[in-house]
C-alpha cells in the first residue's frame, strides 16, 4: 500500500471527495478504502472510527480554508474590499469544483452541520468552533469598516454572524440549482445588512 503517510493521506482525500459527493451517512469504510486504494484492514490503523475520519476531514479542510480566509480578510485592501474578495473567491471555488466534478458540492461544513450535528456531538462541537472562527474573522473586518465609518451596523458580532448565515444560505441555493452564480448577490446583500454608508 505504499508508504504509511501516503495511505493516510489517500484515505483522507478519498473521504473528502466522497463526502462532498454523497454525504457522510451513505458511505462505508470499505468504499472509502477502495477509492483510496488502501486495504480495508489498515483503515483502523489510521482512524479509530468513521466519525474520527470525518473529524480529520473537517480539520484538514478548515486548515486550508482558514489559510485562504486569513489571506483574503487580513490583506492590505480596504476592509469592505476584502469582504468582497472573500465572496468572489468562494464563488470561484464552487465554480472550480463544479468544473471538476459536474456538480456544485456546496460547503463541507454546512453539509455536515445539517447531516450530522444531531447525531455526532464531537462533530457538532468541532463545526461550532469552525463557524465561530469564521464569524470572528468577518467580525474583525466589520469592526475595521465601522471605525472608518463605512458601515453603520450597531452589533458587529450579530452582523458578522448574519453575513456567514447569508453565505451559507446562498451556497445552499448554489448547490440546489447547481449554479455558482447564486452567490453573486452576496455582495449587495451584505452591504445592505451592514448598513454601508456609500454604494460600492
Question: Residue numbers of the site for a copy of itself (CB under 8 A)?
Answer: 21-23, 25-26, 103-106, 110-111, 113-119, 124, 127-128, 131, 153, 158, 161-162, 164-170, 172-173, 175-178, 185, 188-189, 192-195
Read off φ and ψ for residue 84, nearest 5 degrees: -60, -40
**Do 186 and 138 form a contact (C-beta atoms < 8 A)?**
no
- Are 62 and 137 in contact, with CB atoms under 8 Å apart? no
Q: Find the shortest distance in angstroms from Cβ 104 to a copy of itself.
A: 8
Residue 132: which region, alpha, beta or left (left: phi > 0; alpha: psi -120 to 50)?
alpha
Of the two residues 39 and 185, which places its CB atom closer to a copy of itself in the complex?
Answer: 185
**Which three cell numbers, joined as nine digits, stand for 139?**
467580525
Report in angstroms how near the CB of residue 162 gets to a copy of itself at its nearest: 4
Q: Which is nearer to a copy of itself, 4 or 152 (CB)?
A: 152
C-alpha cell at 138: 468577518
Nearer to a copy of itself, 22 or 71 (CB): 22
Amino acid at each position: 500500500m505504499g508508504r504509511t503517510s501516503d495511505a493516510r493521506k489517500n484515505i483522507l482525500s478519498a473521504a473528502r471527495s466522497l463526502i462532498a459527493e454523497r454525504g457522510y451517512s451513505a458511505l462505508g469504510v470499505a468504499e472509502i478504502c477502495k477509492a483510496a486504494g488502501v486495504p480495508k484492514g489498515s483503515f483502523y490503523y489510521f482512524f479509530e472510527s468513521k466519525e474520527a475520519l470525518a473529524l480529520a476531514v473537517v480539520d484538514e479542510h478548515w486548515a486550508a480554508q482558514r489559510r485562504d480566509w486569513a489571506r483574503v480578510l487580513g490583506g492590505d485592501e480596504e476592509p469592505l474590499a476584502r469582504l468582497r474578495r472573500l465572496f468572489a473567491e468562494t464563488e470561484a471555488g464552487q465554480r472550480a469544483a463544479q468544473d471538476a466534478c459536474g456538480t456544485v458540492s456546496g460547503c463541507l461544513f454546512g453539509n455536515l452541520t445539517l447531516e450530522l450535528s444531531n447525531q455526532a456531538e464531537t462533530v457538532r462541537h468541532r463545526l461550532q468552533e469552525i463557524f465561530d472562527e469564521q464569524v470572528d474573522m468577518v467580525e474583525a473586518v466589520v469592526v475595521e469598516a465601522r471605525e472608518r465609518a463605512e458601515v453603520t451596523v450597531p452589533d458587529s458580532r450579530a452582523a458578522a454572524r448574519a453575513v456567514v448565515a447569508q453565505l451559507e444560505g446562498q451556497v445552499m441555493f448554489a448547490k440546489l440549482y447547481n449554479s455558482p452564480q447564486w452567490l453573486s448577490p452576496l455582495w449587495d446583500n451584505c452591504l445592505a445588512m451592514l448598513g454601508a454608508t456609500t454604494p460600492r
